[in-house]
Amino acid sequence: MSVEVMSMVFKRYPTGGGERLLALALADHASDDGTRIFPSVSLLADKTVQSERTVQRQLRKMEAIGWLIKVADGGRGRFDTAEYCINPDWIKGDILSPLKIDVKGDIAVSSKGDIAVSSKGDIAVSPESSLTISEPSDTRETALVNPKTSVIGWDVPDKMFKGISAERMESWQNAFPGFDVEGELTRIDLWYDRKLRESPKWRWKNPERGIHNWLSRSFHDSRRAKVFQKKSAPPNAPQRQ
């Protein structure tokens, strides 16, 4: 636990809300120099009172803007988690530039072009940058995108769809009121992972459309089920006088 790093987050972390809570939770696990951060996603979700999917999405954003650096990937064991450190330049007092998103869905950080994330999820680092980020492998099908041109991709290591923006989530929640969209996305991830293991060459040609159609079917099925339960419920027994 580093009270010093937590104080830095309170004073200088660029955004608020759940993402700031996650930054505080990460700082709570960090050494004073911002290193040796390796809590599990489930623990971070409990600490921030968010879903694991939301935490994973926020971690990806923190990596994209350069605040968080993944030092080592987690293994396949239950307790073998990924290790992170907070950008040492930020610890020293440098302020991260705001996240910029252009109309093509590309993401760039800082006016100097220190970090750029293409619509395919590739990360490039300019020679001037003091931050080193390794390029994702070819099998890492992921995207960080402009919500207006949302490109959703399957992330092989994390076994979940990435590139789902907050605006896209809000639009789904508005389209399917009262429906647990977050929970249904988790069920989609589990189903899609099982489908890929059964048929490695199979995949959705348009993941966003596939997810939307799934949500639509599940939403209407749940509404029909509620109507059926209401109609089939026995009438209240007459009360004795």
Q: pLDDT, tens digit, for every residue of 154-174?
A: 888 878 888 888 788 889 989
pLDDT at 25: 94
Residue 82 and residue 70 in contact, taking contact as beta carbons nearer than 8 Å: yes
pLDDT at 90: 93
Burial of 208 (0-12, 13-18, 19+ CB in 10 A): middle
Output the CA angle 154-53-123, nearest 5 degrees.
50
Flag whether the pTM goes above 0.85. no
Q: What is the pLDDT of residues 68-87, one digit of tens each?
A: 999 988 764 445 688 999 99
Q: Is the pLDDT of residue 120 over 90?
A: no
Helix (H, G, I), strand (E, B) or coil at 117: strand
pLDDT at 150: 55
Q: Is the pLDDT of residue 103 over 70?
A: no
